[in-house]
Structure 1
Amino acid sequence: MSLDNVVEDIRDEARARAEEIREDGEQRADEIIEEAEADAEELLEARETDVERQVEQEREQALSSAKLEAKQKRLEARRDVLQDVRGQVEDELASLSGDRRETLTRSLLDDAADEFDGGDVVVHGRAADKALIEDILEDYDGYAFGDSYDCLGGVVVESTQSRVRVNNTFDSVLEGVWEDNLKEVSSRLFDQ
């Protein structure tokens, strides 16, 4: 065998080995590409799932926020209506006149008088009701009209000998009735 043959055999072996290495490299490259594509697909699916979950979560938050805002607006509207109703009641109480006003004022004074056992008693009332209250006080011994009192009507009665003070104004009666019946008033107004 000649040197040329040996060289040619070595070259053939080197070419075969190079071809084998190249094929192994291409096969390994194909495997790496397949793994990378699979990883990319998994990553894409995971990202899509995350995005869908985030979109759903944001939608739920927006919906919840909108519901809360609507509920707050509804409560504000109800509160405004209740305030309007209360304002109308106050206006009607302030504008009561004649026998109706006298009957209510006398009744409130009678109830307050039960707390006092004689002595000098001072009765305060709305300035516009001074003449009415003074007429009613003619039926009570030791009772006199004092200073005017800022209210819708009714009386504030106090003893000059003790610290007893009874607030029987339309305002105080309305406050008690309003608080006691607010739920029913609300139910009637809003059909709950």
Structure 2
Amino acid sequence: MSLDTVVEDIREEADARVAEIESAAEERAEEIIREAEAEADSIRESAEREVEREIDRERDQRIASANLEAKQERLEARRELLAEVREALEERIATLPDEEREELVRELLDAAGSEFDDAATLRVSTRPEDMDLLESILEDYDGYELDGEHDCIGGVVVESDETRVRVNNTFDSLLEDVWEDNLKEISARIFEEK
């Protein structure tokens, strides 16, 4: 065998080995690229899912916030309407016709008087507009005296120094009791709730 043949064989072996190494390197490079692309796809999908979850969370928070704000606005509107209804009711009570007002004041005075001993001297006050009415009513009651003005929409406040009892039978206090006891029903009727 000649030296040229040996060199040629070595060269062929080297070329074959280079081709084999290049082929293996290309396969490895393609595998690395496939793995990198798969990992990139996985990262992209994961990021997209996270973005979707964040969008859903943000949307849910905004919807919840909007619902809460709308509920608060509805409640405030209801409170305002109930306040208007109450104010209108107070105005209606404050402007009752004289005959009806006198009848109610007498009933409230009788009810308050039953809370005191017969021997007590009772002082009675009312709103400024009803002072003349109360004075004429008290002419029919023994042991009662006009005490002065009371800030209210009507009715009477009866007091006695002997017993230190004070009975607030004003329209205001009665309205407050009725309003509080029936607020749920009043609200249901106004807002047509079942």
TM-score category (smaller protein): over 0.9
In 1, distance between residues paired with 2:188 and 2:52?
A: 43
Is 1:189 the equivalent of 2:193? no
Q: Among the aligned pairs, what percent are the same residue?
A: 57
**Number of the residue aligned with 1:147:** 148
TM-score (norm 2): 0.93
> What do the CA deviations read for 1:138-159 (whole angstroms, capped 9, x no partner)?
1222211113110001111011
Partner of 1:102: 102
Q: Report what 1:132 is aligned to.
A: 133
**Counterpart amino acid of 1:176?**
D
TM superposition score normalised by structure 1: 0.93
CA-based RMSD: 1.4
Q: Does 1:10 align with 2:10?
A: yes
Alpha-carbon offset, residue 28 of structure 1? 0.1
Distance, in Å, in 2 between the alignment partners of 1:13 and 1:105 is: 126
State the match for 1:176 in structure 2.
177
What's 1:61 paired with? 61
Structure 1 spans left out of the alignment, 5+ residues = none
Which whole-Å CA distance do the structure 2 matches of 1:89 and 1:190 have between them? 17
Secondary structure of 1:147's aligned partner: strand
Q: Secondary structure at the match of 1:111?
A: helix
Q: Which secondary structure state, in structure 1, belongs to the residue aligned with residue 152 of structure 2? A: coil
Give a deviation string over 1:137-182, Cα, whole Å, max 9, x none.
1122221111311000111101111211000001000001111111
Q: Distance in 2 between matches of 1:152 and 1:112?
A: 17
2:113 — aligned with what? Answer: 113
What does residue 83 of structure 1 align with? 83
Uncovered stretches (5+) of structure 2, i.e. residues with no partner: none
Report how many residues are paired: 192
